[in-house]
Amino acid sequence: MSAPEIVVLDYGSGNLRSAQRALERVGAQVVVTSDRDAALAADGLVVPGVGAYAACMQGLRAVEGPKILDIRLAGGRPVLGICVGMQVLFDHGVEHGVDTPGCSQWPGVVDQLEAPVLPHMGWNTVDVAEGSRLFEGIAQERFYFVHSYAARSWELDTAGSATQAPLLTWATHGQPFLAAVENGPLCATQFHPEKSGDAGLTLLQNWLGTLS
């Protein structure tokens, strides 16, 4: 079987090269680009992100990121968001009193954690959702987080829906927050798999395994 073709979306934010190297280590062919056609054609799209929510959204809009997400997901084409790349998938983010519209793939808000120490920086365990494919074989491992903001609740109601309910993985720093979501073709992690050692590489490999 040929190596999956992955685009890491370059919109001026994120650990682009570290994400590229990690994905290449687990067998992917990776291109870092902002090209719309390449992002739409790839087997998988990775949306990284570091820094402020508003700045990330500004960069995403400049490369038609929200439209790319809409088109890919409408066709069931896999996307993986990482860190702020997960946060921007929600309706909006609030930082320093500024409310910024997001990509609205999921309802809800990203705001500051209520914790005695911020940012939340370092290794943490996660409470993995039953049936998770991302965390297969690594449910007991620790993952590397660097953030002060997160989605602290889940508002998408799938009761009565014919589609599978999203798989929600949680972590705690001061209070519970979403560490990962698996929602059909759209997956995301608040932590950095590319900085999480062997466990993070396994998670990326697991994600690649969902593309076929």
Which residues are designated catalytic? Answer: 83, 192, 194
User: E strands, 25-70, where?
Assistant: 29-33, 44-47
What is the chain's length?
212
Write the burial class of residue 55 (CB in 10 Å: 0-12 exposed, 13-18 middle, 19+ buried). middle
Structure tokens, 211:
């593309």
Two structure tokens written together for 67: 């439209």
Taking the C-alpha atoms of residue 60 and residue 68, their distance in angstroms, rounded to an integer, is 10
d(CA 93, CA 51): 12
SS3 at position 28: coil
| Residue whose structure tokens are 């396994």 | 202
User: Measuring CA to CA, which residue among 207, 196, 188, 82 is closest to residue 143?
Assistant: 196
Residue type, 93: G
- C-beta of residue 89 within 8 angstroms of C-beta of residue 186: yes
Q: Does the bond joining 166 to the residue before it have cis omega, within 30 degrees of 0?
A: no
